[in-house]
Amino acid sequence: MQATHDLARKVSLLIMDVDGVLTDGTIFITASGEELKGFNTLDGHGLKMLQSTGVKLAIITGRAAACVEARARGLGIDYYYAGIHDKRAAFLELIGKAGVDASQCAYVGDDVVDLPVMCRVGMAIAVPEAPSIVRKNAHYVTGNSGGRGAIRETCELIMQAQGTFDGLMAGYLS
> What residues are designated binding site for substrate?
19
Q: In three state form, how does the secondary structure of 111-143 look?
A: CHHHHHHHCCCCEEEECCCCCHHHHHCCCEECC
Q: Using the 8-state DSSP alphabet, how is residue 22 labeled?
A: T
Residue 56, beta-bridge partner list? 13
Binding residues for Mg(2+): 17, 110
- Secondary structure class of 51 (helix, strand, coil): helix
Binding residues: 17, 19, 110
* H/E stretch holding 154: helix 150-162
